[in-house]
Amino acid sequence: MVSERDLMGGLAKGLKVIEAFSAEHPRLSISQAAEIAALDRATTRRCLLTLAELGYAAYDGKYFTVTPKVLRLGTGCLATMPLPRIVQPLLDDLSIRIEQSTSVSILDETEIVYVARAAQRRVMSIALMPGSRLPAYCTSMGRVALAALDAEKRRVLLEKSHLDARTERTITDIDALMAELEATSARGYAIIDQEVEIGLRSIAVPLQNLRGQTVAALNVGLSVTSASMEDLVNTYLPPLLDVQADLRRMLV
């Protein structure tokens, strides 16, 4: 157990402020950042001004935005992870073969983090790339990742999530989500119909290692005009399962 006196409280608060920025909140005032980071306004102001001084954030007098320099903090992590290097060739091949965009992500608490992507066409209003984050509760990759956890852990993470209705189709009731995760676990894949964004459907499978542990998730995302829900299962599930089987022998 690390002693509390050995921890840097300032660094911890600064990281919380950095994490306040997201695709949904790319520009934040001091008050907005303080609310999201659950810190007082004075502390948040000092953190933001420090980030701006060091070049990690830009400030227009009212709003802060992170700069490309902040990517250095995550790029180093991705570069040392074996997972992206292992999955990217198979992801590229799969994307070309099915002519759709494919992605691999890992679960980070209540969110998924994209670690690899092969894009044939843009299917969401926001650009997705390695390092991008989305809520786990309403995404296909998030649901297969959550479904791999025991029931108690699933509920804990759902209770910690901001269960916003991103569209009129988004499931936000915890009991309904728990039932969906149980169904996902039983069938071995998750399927989403316009819960993240209107016009977007996706299907995902877990990526497991030789010990049967889920270490990531793989999905295909496409527009509603490209495939029905039946097409997602009949056309795209088999190639996803092929890649799942190939990667099982490679992942540790």
As to burial, measured by CB atoms within 10 angstroms (0-12 exposed, 13-18 middle, 19+ buried), residue 32 is middle
List, for residues 196-237, the tens digit of each pLDDT value.
999 999 999 999 988 889 999 999 999 998 889 999 999 999
List, for residues 40-67, the tens digit of each pLDDT value.
999 999 999 999 999 989 999 999 998 8
Give the pLDDT of residue 75.
58
Q: What is the DSSP string of 3-30?
A: -GGGS-HHHHHHHHHHHH--SS-SSB-H
Give the pLDDT of residue 128.
80
Q: Can you tell me the distance from the alpha carbon of 124 to that of 199, in angstroms, rounded to the nearest whole number?
A: 8
pLDDT tops 60 at residue 79: no
CB atoms within 10 A of CB 241: 14
Strand partners, 155: none
Q: Can you tell me the distance from the alpha carbon of 208 to that of 131, in angstroms, rounded to the nearest whole number?
A: 21
Q: Model-level pTM greater than 0.75?
A: no
List, for residues 99-142, the tens digit of each pLDDT value.
999 999 999 999 999 999 998 665 655 678 888 889 999 999 99
Predicted confidence band of residue 6 (pLDDT cuts 50, 70, 90): confident
As a residue count, the chain comes to 252
What CA–CA distances, in Å, run from 216 to 58, 83, 165, 171, 191? 33, 9, 25, 22, 16
Kindly state the average pLDDT of the residues 138-151: 97
Give the pLDDT of residue 63.
95
pLDDT tops 80 at residue 153: yes
pLDDT tops 90 at residue 5: no
